[in-house]
Amino acid sequence: MKKSLEGFLMYELVVKKGQQVTLSKVNGNLLINDNAELIAEESTIKVEGAIVVKGHFFCKGNLQAQSLEARKGSGEILGNLELHHFAIVGNSLDIGGNFSCPDISVGNSLHIEVDVTAKTIKVGNKLRVGGAAKVETVKAGGIAKIFGRATIGTLIVGGTAKLLDTAEIKELKVGGVAKIAGGKIAVIKVGGALQVADEFEAEQIDVGGSASFKAHAKVGNVEIGGNLTCATDLKFRTIDVGGGMSVEGNLMGESLKVGGIIKCGGKLTCEKRLVVGGQCKSTLTIKAKEIDVNKKIDAPTIVAQFFKLRRRGTAIGTIVAKNVIIGSRATIEDVFGEEILLEEYSKANNLYGANISLEEGVKVTGEILYQTSLYQDSTTSIKTPPKQVQQLPPPFGAEQ
C-alpha cells in the first residue's frame, strides 16, 4: 500500500471540521477535516494537487484532483470524480456520477452511479457500478455488481458477482455465485454456481457447484462439479460434469463425460467420446466416435464407431456401430455392426453383423443375420434360427 501523504504535504487550503465551503479551484493541496462539505461554485471543483481527508467529507458537484487519500474515512460526491493518480479510502466512497482514476483502493464499499474507468480497483467488501466498467483488474472481497457493459481484464470476487449487461472479460474468479447477462469471457472459475442469462462464449469454465445457460452457449473446456443445464443449443470442446446435464436443444462437441444423467432435447453429437456414468436420453440421434454407457441410453438411433453398454445396462433404440460390446445381463433392442459381442445373460431383439459372438445364457427374441461368422454358446436362447447372408439390411431409419 502507498505511504500516507498527510505528513509530507503543504496545504493550499484547510477545510475545518464541519465547515461548509464553496470552491471553484484550489492551486495546490487540499486538507479536509471530518464532516466538512464542499460546494462547487459552478459545476466543478478543480484541485491542482492532492486531497487528504480526515474522517468523512461531502461534495456537491464534480471534483478533480491529482489524488484522494482518506485512509480512516469516507466520502460522498454528488457528481463526477476525476483523479490522475490514485484514490485510497479506508471506509466507503459514494460517487453520484462517473469515476476516472488509475488506481482505486477502498476498504469497505465503493458505489459509482454511472461509469468507471480505471487500471485497478480493490474493494474490501462491496462494489456497485451503475453504468459501464472499463478496468484492467478488479478485486472485491464480498459482492461486485455492474449494471452496464463490463470490459475487464481480470475480475476477482470473494462472494457474489452480478454482471447485468454484456461482459467482455479475460478472467473471472468468483468464490460464491456468478450471475452473468451474457457476452464473452475467456476463463471462468466459480466456487459455487454460475448462471448465464443471454448468449455467451467462454474458452474455459471450472465450476464447483452448478451451471445454467438460458440462451445459446459456445464454450471450450468445461468442468462442472454439480449439474449443468442449457435452455437451447450448446456447443463445446470438452465437458466433464460430476452430476447431471440437461440441454433442451442440440448438444454438439468433441468429448462429453457425465457422472449422472444426460437429457438432450435435440441431437447429441460428439466427435470423439461420450462417457455416461448414469443414463443418457436424447429426443433425436446420439452420435459419437466412442460411446461408453454404464446404466441406460435412450434415443431413436445410436451411432458410433465403438459402442459399449456395461453390466445390467439398458439401451433403447437402434444401435449402429462398427464394434459393439454389450455387458453381462444388459438389455438392448436392435444392433447393426461389424463386430458384435453379447456377454453372458444379456438380451437383444435383432442382431445384424459381420461377426457375432453370443456368450452363455444370451437371449435373442428376434432374428440374427450375419455375414462372416457366428459364435453362440450352447446355452443361448434364439427365437429364430440365425441366417448367414451376403449383404446385411440397412439400419431401420438410422442416420449414420
pLDDT digits (tens, 9 = 90+) for 304-360: 999 999 999 999 999 999 999 999 999 999 999 999 999 999 999 999 999 999 999
The residue type at 381 = S
In-domain check, residue 63: yes
The answer to whether residues 152 and 133 touch, using CB atoms and an 8 Å cutoff, is yes
- The answer to whether 311 touches 294, Cβ cutoff 8 Å, is no
In a domain, 294, yes or no: no
Number of structural domains (the chain) is: 2
Task: Classify residue 364: in a domain, yes or no.
Answer: yes
Q: Count CA atoms closer than 13 A to 244's CA, side-chain side.
A: 10
pLDDT of residue 397: 54
pLDDT confidence of residue 9 = 79
pTM for this predicted structure: 0.91
Residue 20 belongs to a domain: yes
Dihedral pair phi/psi, residue 8, rounded to 5°: -115, 0
Per-residue pLDDT tens digits for 191-225:
999 999 999 999 999 999 999 999 999 999 999 99
Q: Which of 78, 100, 122 is the last residue of a domain?
A: 100
pLDDT of 7 over the 80 cut: no
Closest to 39 (Cα-Cα) out of 9, 77, 92: 77
Residue 107 lies inside a defined structural domain of this protein: no
Among 49, 75, 100, give the residue marking a domain's end.
100
* C-alpha cell of residue 257: 463425460
Largest CA distance in the chain: 106
Q: Residue 234 domain-assigned?
A: no
Rounded to whole angstroms, how far apart are CA atoms 325 and 323? 7
User: Does any domain span residue 43?
Assistant: yes
**Mean pLDDT over residues 103-130, rounded?**
98
pLDDT digits (tens, 9 = 90+) for 220-278: 999 999 999 999 999 999 999 999 999 999 999 999 999 999 999 999 999 999 999 99
For residue 15, give every residue at least 6 positions away whose Cβ sits within 8 Å of its Cβ, in sequence order, or none.
21, 30, 31, 32, 33, 36, 38, 57
Residue at which a domain ends, from 100, 128, 163: 100
31 domain-assigned: yes
Distance, CA of 261 to CA of 295 (rounded, Å): 10
Mean pLDDT of the chain: 96
State the residue range of the domain holding 30.
9-100
Q: Is the pLDDT of residue 284 over 90?
A: yes
